[in-house]
Structure 1
Amino acid sequence: EVTETMAIDRVRELNPLIHQIKGLGIKISLDDFGTGYSSLSLLRDLPVDQIKIDRSFLCTASKTEGTRSIVENTIALAHGLGYSVVAEGVQDMDTLHFLRSRGCDIIQGYLFCPALPLNEVISWVNTHDEEQSRIRRA
């Protein structure tokens, strides 16, 4: 991942490094998309594979017209450029339904699971499989 705020001032420096990394078959995400001041130029200039929409846009995306429009158009723009889209920080079913209906590729957040240390992940998966199936069907 490359964060948008870090990349804004370092596009020329990052570009060849990202190309080298991608040459190894590694995918690159532009994290915290929408929090910086030059998002569109970053989409044009950085050879990323995926953008991650910052959770600050998702808290009100299903409720506020302006934010909803930003998220909808960000997903459409990213897909038009060939990028996949990750929504970060999803906490409720309304936002999940909104993002699914707009074609968001990957949805992350506390709705599914809090951040866990590695040693707790397998235990969590085993105890929450049924709950996750319910959310996937919703």
Structure 2
Amino acid sequence: MRQFVLLPLLACLMSGCAGASQPWVELGGQRYKVELAKDDAERARGLMFRDAMETDHGMLFIHDAQEPQSYWMKNTKIPLDILYFDNDRKLVSQQRDVPPCSLGDACPPYPSNAPARYVLELNAGQAEKLKLQDGATMTFGPGIPAAK
């Protein structure tokens, strides 16, 4: 009897069932698998020290409140588009093609031009490819908490 329980579980694990719950967002008709940065430690670490990121991946930073945000590229090795969204997941500000920075605390800030609750970092060039304009809406897949 035990093998009847273990076989379906093993089949599920081997077929990728365990990874099926990867969070995603959709923007400009493109779906991106995202890592979530929901607390101060995750937001501070961000995409530091990464040598590459797949084209259809990104990182979604979720802040506790909608307010002016500012990001920097300290110890970030890949160029990024930094996209700022309000509580309604509307694009309110963009910093495109932000270069890597190895200057430590001398790295410049890249602020939002309006209060934001969510920040999406994608590989540089994605915003241009999607022809994103302020007001574009980001859709959340299952498992991403909405604004409180």
Relative to the length of structure 1, the TM-score reads 0.30
- Of structures 1 and 2, the one with the larger relative CO (CA 8 A, separation 6+) is 2
Q: Which has the higher strand share?
A: 2
Q: Which has the higher helix share?
A: 1
Relative to the length of structure 2, the TM-score reads 0.29
Larger gyration radius, structure 1 or structure 2: 2
